[in-house]
Amino acid sequence: MTASAPVATDARCPCCSGDLYGLCCGPAHSGTRPAPTAEALMRSRFSAFAVGDADYLRASWHVSTRPAELDLDPDLEWWRLDILGTTAGGPFDDAGTVEFVAHYRDPAVAGREGRGKMQELSRFVREGGRWYYVDAAG
């Protein structure tokens, strides 16, 4: 497991929402307020990758697809999230999808070659009032 890096509540949230961490993904990470929508969960999971919070990532992963272990690469810097679209996934839905592009830098690779991105259409379900990441659709 990777230890998570602390994020100040008054710092800009890593998910690029424009909100402060303490008002955006911080409450989901601390367990004080679950993500109200599939998109909010997607944002909180990106932020968890950005700060190295493997425990949150596993907890927000649906039990049917959750890996037994999750080792994050501490050298990858997740720096930008672009939400391309959502289908359902609202506060009164039981399922939804979020398509996104997550941008990262790998400092081990020199120059622009160290930049990369990952695009995914993620599936989410809501059970017991909480949203969970299921898998990449398709």
Tens-place pLDDT, residues 81-105: 999 999 999 999 999 999 999 999 9
Domain ranges of the chain: 21-136
pTM value > 0.85: yes
Which residues make beta-bridge pairs with 130? 127
The whole-number pLDDT of residue 113 equals 81
Contact 124, 132 (CB under 8 A): yes
The whole-number pLDDT of residue 4 equals 65
Structure tokens at 10: 């008054």
- Would you identify the CATH topology of the domain 21-136? Nuclear Transport Factor 2; Chain: A, (3.10.450)
- Asked if residue 6 has pLDDT above 80, the reply is no
What's the whole-number average pLDDT of the chain? 94
Nearest to 21 by CA among 39, 37, 43: 43
